[in-house]
Structure 1
């Protein structure tokens, strides 16, 4: 497949992602080793990784034009990752190559016994910095963009890019995996948020996951929805709604709403189930709906590993937001 920049049709919405690229060394083992043990791997492969690259690869394979803004070292790892993205259809014309430095890489241990993956990350250098983003580059990279994806790993550069996108009314999706220095300024600009299971409570200090999701909508008035991923159990979404409700309607307790929705959700279904509450008043200035989505139950015999699964979910979400 040629790059998206070659295939893009004028006027087509473009997805832009900004973040780190990382090379993954994946070794599969029958079971995770115990300390000081020597074991034999059952398979080995090398492939590009990193949240942004993985998510954009998904977007490209779903058929949308997309581009990435990132910096790699001018080494074999960096060249390999850029070439792999191009082969998947991602426009890499805004990838910067640093003459001196080393690209990020991961050792990934895939455990066949538990179908899990363990990542050992080795950061590279130099990072993508605000000084790399000239005014002309910002205008060019945002040209034709329908949605911007950030995750805070190159927070200062991403913040500058997000501020420019915000000024041009380009929606922003943030992937908040964990609390990072400077993430608050970035998440303030987000229109959509996808979070790891623990992030909402860690970030808000709320006593429960549902109340943490509500707290995020209260603290972030620009946020249209927040999704909390739950791995093999699916995800929970709290969406802000503009639908009118009666001014006299009592507020609905978010924890009680979540429990009621769980009780009416079929978690035994092999295929995914989407169960949504009615639009309701959740607090004085927030009206919304809570949604529980289960994940497809994949037989263990068909499950290879979960590397990149969350990024593929993000890519599909970007696809939906772009075409909405």
Structure 2
């Protein structure tokens, strides 16, 4: 029986170009390939969760700008149940332009985040948590994420945070979080080392913590143990969205397996995604 996950955060339109190199100032550079898809941490995670056989519900702002039709089509293609926090939002959605270099899989990203379209708590649908088995929060809709976290905690629904970077407001969500899956760029206040990050998160009461480090081993800590997990070594074509895909896969596996096994299997999915251009081609 499939599970239902609620993913709370940002939805963007991603314009992704594969290029021989990054353009120089004033240079017009011809792309080798390109792709357009919905993006954002919670959004890419929801797609991964869905294609692994689950029901994904996404809570984010889209609005009614014509560009959102491209995003909606992509979400519908992967059977994402989207709940719009601001259906009447008339401005264009956050858009990211990404260049990926062909030989080195380096990337350059310019984007607008969700600061211009922050939703309020009263815009949360009443049935957002209906039949939900877990919640993932990416921190880009912090007020909504915090409210959802408190509601989920009251219902004993496990909460996972995508700690890509520290954002003001995480401190209201961390105390009710079961799984903190963070990047190597996640540094809470007064933390300068990964040891300090682990200690900070542990002191907030989070029982299961992991820090991903790209191609380097995943560091983890549980109430019983700590250690590291090797990740598959691959020749990367594109690392865009790999962390998001990792989080979506982790959400799938943690409903079936213990913590370290879920981390290991999520790393395999994320590694596979890096051998393909764009954030969707790995699926096919």
Relative to the length of structure 2, the TM-score reads: 0.83
2:4 aligned with 1:14: yes
Task: Please give the alpha-carbon distance, in whole angstroms, between the structure 1 residues aligned to 2:64 and 2:200.
Answer: 43
CA contact (8 A) 2:45 2:248 kept: yes
Task: Please give the alpha-carbon distance, in whole angstroms, between the structure 1 residues aligned to 2:82 and 2:255.
Answer: 19
State the SS of the aligned residue for 2:146.
helix
Task: Please give the alpha-carbon distance, in whole angstroms, between the structure 2 residues aligned to 1:293 and 1:166.
Answer: 29
State the SS of the aligned residue for 1:304.
coil
Q: Deviations over 1:163-197 (max 9, x none)?
A: 11111111100111112121211222211101110
CA contact (8 A) 2:60 2:83 kept: no
2:210 aligned with 1:227: yes
2:98 corresponds to which of 102, 108, 126: 108
Q: Tell me what 1:165 maps to.
A: 152
Q: Deviations over 1:272-311 (max 9, x none)?
A: xxxxxxxxxxxxxxxxx11312221213xxx331111111
2:183 aligned with 1:196: yes
Relative to the length of structure 1, the TM-score reads: 0.74
CA contact (8 A) 2:63 2:84 kept: no
Unaligned stretches of 5+ residues in structure 1 = 1-8, 242-288
2:163 corresponds to which of 171, 176, 182: 176
Q: Tell me what 2:23 maps to.
A: 33
Task: Please give the alpha-carbon distance, in whole angstroms, between the structure 1 residues aligned to 2:84 and 2:90.
Answer: 18
State the SS of the aligned residue for 1:97.
coil
Task: Please give the alpha-carbon distance, in whole angstroms, between the structure 1 residues aligned to 2:111 and 2:47.
Answer: 21
Q: Which has the larger radius of gyration?
A: 1
State the SS of the aligned residue for 2:173.
helix
Aligned-residue CA RMSD (Å): 1.9
1:291 corresponds to which of 213, 227, 230: 227
Aligned pairs (5 A) from 1:1-324: 12-93=2-83, 96-123=86-113, 125-133=116-124, 137-138=125-126, 140-199=127-186, 202-203=187-188, 205-206=190-191, 208-217=193-202, 219-221=203-205, 223-241=206-224, 289-299=225-235, 303-324=236-257
CA contact (8 A) 2:118 2:141 kept: yes
Task: Please give the alpha-carbon distance, in whole angstroms, between the structure 2 residues aligned to 1:212 and 1:126.
Answer: 30
Aligned-pair distance for 1:204? 5.3
Unaligned stretches of 5+ residues in structure 2 = 258-284
Task: Please give the alpha-carbon distance, in whole angstroms, between the structure 1 residues aligned to 2:84 and 2:107.
Answer: 31
Aligned-pair distance for 1:73? 2.1
Aligned-pair distance for 1:47? 1.1
Aligned-pair distance for 1:83? 2.2
Q: Tell me what 2:264 maps to.
A: none
Equivalenced residue count is: 256
Aligned-pair distance for 1:48? 0.9
Task: Please give the alpha-carbon distance, in whole angstroms, between the structure 1 residues aligned to 2:28 and 2:55.
Answer: 45
